[in-house]
Amino acid sequence: MDFSPRKKKYLSLVPPGGNWRHLPEALQRESMGKAFFAKGGRSGWWRRLSYDLPCPTLVTMPNHASTALCHPEEVRALTVREYCRIQEFPDEWTVCGTPAQQYAQIGNAVPVRLGEIAGKVLANALDRLAERCWRLRPGRPRPYRKIYIQSHIRTRQWYKNGEALQWRDGKDNSALVYASPKTRRAWAVMEKKGR
């Protein structure tokens, strides 16, 4: 699966770690059409990965203009094998189906390490329940909580006035830090209905 010649034209102008914001405004408007005026981050448009930043969430179709996952050095979509590596699948795993089905399977998958951690959390909870001979705790259950913590790295925080500070100002940018998050930690209690 690869980009069309039209998409390659725009992606060839985007540096590693950049996206549509690195194009001159006339090309931004031309390449994005009505999406240029849409609200929201639109950070997936003409996105080129960087070895220096975390990979964004893998999508099921890496060659669409609005969900582009372009190789950091070459003007091409990531391969199925590169998708597998990002998800930390063992090299001996085989993905079956058509290329579109393979990208969909890997893009919809949970990264191996995340699956391992989630499995350990569930196993520990079941072990604690088994220690109580599968009896629930007496009394009313505690209310459910929603906890909000600082969100993942946001690409736009690496930009100032449309310029990618880490790559284009010619200075040592190792001391740059992200802006303070708007929500450091907040939580809300939700009572279970019917109790």
Q: How far apart are CA 180 and CA 165, in angstroms?
A: 17
Tell whether 137 is covered by a domain: no
pLDDT in tens, 61-87: 989 888 889 999 999 999 999 999 999
Answer yes or no: is 84 within a domain: yes
- Asked if the structure places residue 80 within a domain, the reply is yes
**Residues contacting residue 41 through CB under 8 Å, at least 6 positions apart:** 154, 155, 156
Average pLDDT value over all residues in the chain: 81
Q: Which residues pair with 185 in a beta bridge?
A: 149
Distance from chain centroid for Cα 138: 41
CB 173 within 8 A of CB 160: no
Domain annotation covers residue 169? no
Residue 192, domain member (yes or no) = no
150-192 pLDDT tens trace: 544 444 445 455 555 554 556 665 665 545 555 555 556 666 5
d(CA 45, CA 68): 6
Give the percent of the chain with pLDDT over 70.
74
Q: What is the CATH number of the domain that holds 73?
A: 3.90.120.10
19 inside domain: yes
The amino acid occupying position 155 is T
- Domains in the chain: how many in total? 1
Assigned domain for 103 exists: yes
Q: Which domain holds residue 14?
A: 5-108
Q: How far apart are CA 128 and CA 8, in angstroms?
A: 54
Evaluate whether residue 81 is within a structural domain: yes
